[in-house]
Amino acid sequence: MSKEFRFLNPVIIDGENGIIAGHGRVMAAAKLKMEEVPCLEASHLTEAQKKAYILAYNKLAEQATWLRPLSAGRPKSHSSRACPARWKPS
C-alpha cells in the first residue's frame, strides 16, 4: 500500500470486526494516518472456515516467490502488538 495507490484489496473481517486477512494493510493504513479502510465482511464463515481461510491465505503469501527479489534488500520488522489503526467496516 502506498499513498499513491491506497487500497486495491479490502481487509476481510468477521461479524465481530475481527480481522481475518489484512493485518499488514491495517498497519500500513495506520502509518499513513488513515482512519478508515475498505472492508469486506465475511460474517457467514464458521470458526472452522475462518481458520481454514487464514491458513490458506498465509500459505499463499509464503509461496509468493515473486516478492522475494523485491524485498531482498529491505529490513524486516515484526511486531506482536495489536494493530493501532482505527478502522470501520464499509
Is 71 within the bounds of a domain? no
> Is residue 37, in this structure, part of any structural domain at all?
yes
- Domain assignment present for residue 35? The answer is yes
- 38 assigned to some structural domain: yes
- How many domains are contained in the chain? 1
Instruction: State pLDDT tens for residues 7-51.
Output: 778 899 998 889 999 988 899 889 888 888 899 999 999 999 999
Cβ burial, residue 14 (10 Å; 0-12/13-18/19+): middle
| 69 within some domain | no
Domain that holds residue 29: 1-64+84-90
- Per-residue cell: 59: 500459505
In a domain, 75, yes or no: no
Q: Which amino acid is at 16?
A: E
pTM of the model: 0.63
pLDDT digits (tens, 9 = 90+) for 44-82: 999 999 999 999 988 877 766 665 555 555 544 443 334
